[in-house]
Structure 1
Amino acid sequence: KTLSQHIQHLKVSLSRTLDFFPPLSGRLATIHHDDNTTSFFINCNNAGALFVHAKAYGVTVSDINESGYVPRDVVHSFFPLNGAKNYEGTSKPLLAVQVTELGDGIFIGCTVNHTVVDGTSFWHFFNSWSEISRGFDFVSKPPVLKRWLLDGTISPIRIPFSKIEDQVSDKYIGNIRVPLLKERVFHFSKEKIAQLKAKANAEIQLENTKRKISSLQAVLVHLWRSIIRGSNGDLDPDKESSYRLLIGARSRMNPPLSQQYFGNAVQAGTVTIKAREVIKRGLGFVAWEMNKMVALHTEEKLRKFLECWVQEPKLLTEGNMAANALVTSSSPRFDVYGNDFGWGRPVGVRSGAGNKSHGKITVFSAVEEGSIDIEACLLAETLEAMGNDSEFMDAVTV
């Protein structure tokens, strides 16, 4: 097959895959109520997803995959609908795919509306697409499309119009100076991760508990400490520094939600510590604080959060993100390198421009089983300082 035939095959297989995932080919719809509230729902009207075929023959796979720093302008151009907001899903596609021909390969970039799916559901869709592309007639793990709602919840949920006005206005972003940001990928091998995990757990040596600091918690705190060291005095050591994680809810429910539950089933959790303490108290102490925060996110806490949110919805905007916060998205548990569209496994993964600001940390599994790639979006000077931080880089494979 020619490359053009392969790309046409991708388009056809995408269309067939969407038959199993109807929300992704729909649009958001609204209901305006007499009490100045609005409700949103997904109208599965088969309006379609966007498919773009682009060419960038001057770019090679190694230009992207073998560069420590991400060529942001190039990589971000491989994703469609840059700058689109979630609420624009009433008129814009909820899923957009761009297949870009490179000099020696292809890049498949996806943009998806986060009101429709979380990371688990996105990779479920992407894994299923690769199956259909390989010739499957059906997806091996059909999505569960039935909605889960709290008992007694008024459906659809009503959001005060004033909150929606805040979301769509530009008052949060009108006068913000955009700093010089760069993105860099740090690779942690399976062996280095095991060393960090062992070090963190050895430092706390807790008795009467079976809980242990996880590999990911150890790696993220190792990163956090280096970011603070690399702030070059811009961060007051007595100010609080926060790390925000997205915590999966499917397995925390009783009975558990299916891993194939299609939608959003996550809750944000934050651990906050003074910057000075993050450095002074060491890897184990900070990682254990993160571990305790995650452990507190029980089914009871999740239900209480949802009850409160329904009563007083809070919409996330750029303006209400803490200045000294790191935010991690994605997960090394997502099956990235198992995706085979019929011509072999992928050789790399990068994320697009969506939700990128100082402190955005994206975590992926790496090519080697058990290893992790961390894509860090930070101030240029912070990333440079981290590259010169011997304590941090000792755990990084260059």
Structure 2
Amino acid sequence: MANFLSLKLIDVCKVPPPPTAVEPSSLRLTFLDLLWLRFHPYQLLFFYELPSNEISFHDVIVPKLKSSLSLTLQHYLPLAGNLVWSSQSDVPVIEFVEGDGISMTVAESDGDFYHLSGNGFREVSEFHPLVPQLPVSHDRAAGIAIVTKFQNKGFSIGITNHHAIIDGRSSTSFIKSWAQICIEESSIPTPKQMPLYDRSVLTDPKDFEKLIAKAWQDLEGPNNKSLNLKFPPKKYGLIRSTLEFKHQNIQKLKEWILKKKSKNENFDSSSSHISSFVIATAYLCVCTAKLEGLKEGKLFFGFPTDVRTRLKPQVPLNYFGNCVVGVFVCLERSEVLRENGIILACDEISKAIKNCDDGPLNWCENLVSTICQMTNDYSEIQVISLTGSPRFGVYSADFGFGKPKRVEIVSAESPYLFSLTDGRNSDVVMEIGIVKKRKEMEAFVAIFNQGFESI
């Protein structure tokens, strides 16, 4: 039976940027933004332990968060605006007008802070009150909303991003800038963090912008410019858990893989470099195949990849907006379930990444209509997929109260979707967020742990 947190509403306010903000008040979406136009939002939840009982949550922490958020918005002005798609515009535009700002809600909760911020089994529904719902209507969508909630031994900051406005890298950069300014209000984002709004750095060689915009308008068209988001149907009885890939686990898998490759001429042993990401995701594919127990058929795996450094010319890492594409791998279940299944998965994932390096936008033309249709009917999605990245470094978001005790990607709420972050502790390469029914979760955790023991 679901547990529901009891919340006591303390304050609801709008945090505007300072009047001196000079960043662009209007920003056009690009073709890589448009891909995510009606996808469900990206929701992050940061848990922080209260550093001392002597520090007042309401008199010290909340005012610091508000004032530093306002100062941060002078560099991230589009986040304080709204997404609109007027009849005169070919594509949606982020617009900021005087009076706009980010909504912040402060509330107290009777939830168990250490239970929610732990690694154990937690019901998905327990997290819903801790992240804000994005205000969206047919013709207007807020870019981001924030809720801060008090816990019995700490507090949480819940952030909801409109996916068409920013991707994971841009979102994390904003959060880190906010944290930095919260510690020292006179500081400004580092050059690497300072957002770049120049849309000309992203080239559109095949006019994908018109293609994608038309696909959305035709979805429930004709000429449908609705901004209403498409949410997957709610599933009940799901629980959330966090597993860890430790350095010793990754190293053990890598040594085993390289040893097997060196003894089998059918495997490519020309390269001894296998990234931690490839090893971890290949291992997750094998664990999923074992859990499902199907011996025939295809296992589809897809993951987003940042293409800022893969495009020609390269796009600066501080570019503000979406700059990710999808990479897809098709595996034979019968081969994945063999003793050397993880080697096959590693090779195929590595090959897919290399193909993306060679032509990161080759997939766009064929998948535009597919993505729109998938968003229209999430039941069609049977692909193992990922969200987040250990490269974002979310655990470095220290607001002056210590690094987070836990970071959850709350929007990852599907049994087919794994969330990835860096690890809080130095011995952890990455944390894996998993959502499943309880019996499936118990079985998956057992498979995950037994795989390391059997090597």
TM-score by length of 1: 0.85
Match of 1:132 in 2: 181
Aligned residue number for residue 4 of structure 2: none
Deviations, residues 258-300 of structure 1 (Å, cap 9, x unaligned)? 110111001101111122221124211111111111110025x
Residue matched to 2:83: 28
Matched, 1:81 2:81: no
Q: Distance in 1 between matches of 2:188 and 2:66?
A: 17
* Structure 1 partner of 2:214: 159
Q: 1:355 to 1:364 in 2, by over 3 A?
A: closer
Aligned-pair distance for 1:225? Answer: 1.4
283 and 298 in structure 1: CA distance in 2 versus 1, 3 angstrom threshold: same
How many Å apart are 1:153 and its aligned residue? Answer: 3.7
Pair 1:3 & 2:64 matched: no
Taking the TM superposition and a 5 Å limit, the aligned residue runs for 1:278-297 are 278-280=336-338, 281-297=340-356
Superposed displacement of residue 306, structure 1: 4.5
1:66 corresponds to which residue? 118
Q: Which residue of 2 aligns with 1:335?
A: 393
SS in 2 for 1:271: strand
For residues 392 and 217 of structure 1, the distance between their equivalents in structure 2, rounded to whole angstroms, comes to 20
Q: C-alpha separation between the residues in 1 aligned to 2:326 and 2:402? A: 35
- 1:133-189 Cα shifts (integer Å, max 9, x gaps): 01143111210111123257487774252225599799x989x78464222111121
C-alpha distance after superposition, 1:293-332 (max 9, x if no partner)? 1110025x2243456678x695250526654311101111
Once the two structures are overlaid, the 10-residue window that deviates more, 359-368 or 275-284, is 275-284
Give the equivalent residue in structure 2 for 1:50: 103
**Given the alignment of the two structures, is residue 226 of structure 1 paired with residue 271 of structure 2, yes or no?**
no
In 2, Cα distance between equivalents of 1:154 and 1:270:
20
In structure 1, stretches of 5+ residues that fail to align are none
How many corresponding residue pairs? 381
Identical-residue share of aligned pairs (%): 20
Q: Aligned-pair distance for 1:18?
A: 1.2
Residue 315 of structure 2 corresponds to which residue in structure 1? 257
CA–CA separation in structure 1 for the residues paired with 2:130 and 2:164: 22
**Which residue type is aligned with residue 51 of structure 1?**
M
For the 8 Å contact 1:163–1:314, the answer to whether it is kept is no
Which amino acid is 2:117 matched to?
N
CA contact (8 A) 1:25 1:95 kept: yes
CA distance in 2, matches of 1:197, 1:255: 34
| Alignment equivalent of 2:416, drawn from 346, 356, 359 | 359
User: For the Cα contact (< 8 Å) 2:103–2:145, is it kept in 1?
Assistant: yes
Rate the CA distance shift 1:309–1:221 in 2: closer, same or farther, 3 A: closer
Letter in 2 for 1:30: W
TM-score, with structure 2 as normaliser: 0.75
Deviation at 1:212, TM superposition (A): 2.8
What do residues 201-260 of structure 1 show as CA deviations (whole Å, max 9, x unaligned)? 3333466744732112211221221222122x4xx4222111111011011123321110
Question: Is the contact between residue 299 and residue 332 of structure 2 (CA under 8 Å) also seen in structure 1?
Answer: yes
Q: Kindly provide the amino acid, as one letter, of the partner of residue 271 in structure 1.
A: V
Match of 1:109, SS state, is strand
Q: Identify if the C-alpha distance between structure 1 residues 263 and 178 changes in structure 2 by more than 3 Å, giving closer, same or farther.
A: same
Contact kept, 8 Å, 1:366 with 1:373, in 2: the verdict is: yes
Give deviations 1:338-367, integer Å, cap 9, x for gaps: 111112211111122x25222110011111
Residue 45 of structure 2 corresponds to none
Structure 2 stretches of 5 or more lacking a match? 1-54
| C-alpha distance in structure 1 between counterparts of 2:206 and 2:288, whole Å | 44
Q: More displaced, 218-227 or 207-216?
A: 207-216
Whether the aligned pair in 1 keeps the contact of 2:285 and 2:345 (CA below 8 Å) is no
Contact 2:295 2:337 (8 Å CA) reproduced: no
Residue 251 of structure 2 is matched in structure 1 by 194
1:150 aligned to 2:204?
A: yes
Cα 1:313/1:22, change in 2 over 3 Å:
farther
| 1:252 partner SS | coil
Backbone CA RMSD of aligned residues: 3.1
Flag the 1:252–1:164 CA change in 2: closer, same or farther, 3 A.
farther
- Return the alpha-carbon distance in structure 2 between the equivalents of residues 167 and 325 of structure 1: 28
| CA distance, structure 1, for counterparts of residue 122 and residue 130 of structure 2 | 13
**What is the letter of the counterpart of residue 105 of structure 1?**
G
Give 1:198 shift.
2.5
The range that moved more, 177-186 or 43-52, is 177-186
1:304 — aligned with what?
A: 362
* Alignment-derived partner of residue 213 in structure 1: 274
Counterpart-to-counterpart distance in 1, 2:288 and 2:273: 24
Name the CA distance, whole Å, in 2 between partners of 1:65 and 1:181. 17
Partner Cα distance (1:31, 1:120) in 2: 28
| One-letter identity of the residue aligned with 2:114 | S
Distance 1:276 1:391 in 2: 22
Q: 2:168 aligns with which of 119, 122, 131?
A: 119
Structure 1 355/177 Cα, relative in aligned 2: closer, same or farther at 3 Å? Answer: closer
Whether the aligned pair in 2 keeps the contact of 1:331 and 1:363 (CA below 8 Å) is yes
1:377 counterpart letter in structure 2: V
Q: Is the 8 A contact 1:193 1:395 kept in 2?
A: no
Q: What residue in structure 1 maps to residue 70 of structure 2?
A: 15
Alpha-carbon distance change, 63 to 89 in structure 1, aligned in 2, over 3 angstroms: farther
**In the superposition, relative to structure 1, how do residues 169 and 15 fare at CA in structure 2: closer, same or farther (>3 Å)?**
closer
